[in-house]
Amino acid sequence: MKDKRSLVAVVDDDSSVREALPDLLKELGYSSKAFPSAEAFLSSSVINETRCLILDVAMRDMTGPELHRELIRRQQAIPVIFITAVADKALRPRLLAEGAVDCLFKPVSEQALIAALQTALRVN
């Protein structure tokens, strides 16, 4: 269910991902905002509007899983879809066990992203 009011935030330190994902999200009917770091997202004014967070696992300073735990600590119930280039088979089950909606491996397929977004927005 697409809802233009559903803000999807993208947090990734890779500028190509920050450019490509919001374009794809717009094509899919979502509004989005991209951030270069976890700290930039945490200090933004859109946390309370964010209905889903697409979050890179491996970032400098605060990692994606650290941001996810910080949001939980702050009682910010934002569904998280992790994306990663790290081919670690143990990573996905661990992130799902910590409450992530999904963990997709880069390059992320459009179909996998759509399915994860639909699940995330149903959760919220």
Three-state SS string over 30-87 comes to CEEEEECCHHHHHCCCCHHHEEEEEEECCCCCCCHHHHHHHHHHCCCCCCEEEEECCC
Q: How is the chain split into domains, by residue range? A: 7-123
Q: What is the percent of the chain with per-residue pLDDT over 70, rounded to a whole number?
A: 94
pTM of the prediction? 0.93
Q: Name the CATH superfamily housing domain 7-123.
A: Response regulator (3.40.50.2300)
Task: Determine the pLDDT at residue 23.
Answer: 95
Residue 40 has pLDDT above 60, yes or no: yes
What does the block give as tokens for 40?
Answer: 């930039």
Task: Determine the pLDDT at residue 5.
Answer: 61
Whole-number Å distance between alpha carbons of 38 and 64: 7
Residue 2 has pLDDT above 50, yes or no: no
Task: Determine the pLDDT at residue 32.
Answer: 96
Of the pLDDT bands very low, low, confident and very high (cuts 50, 70, 90), residue 47 is very high
Task: Determine the pLDDT at residue 124.
Answer: 56
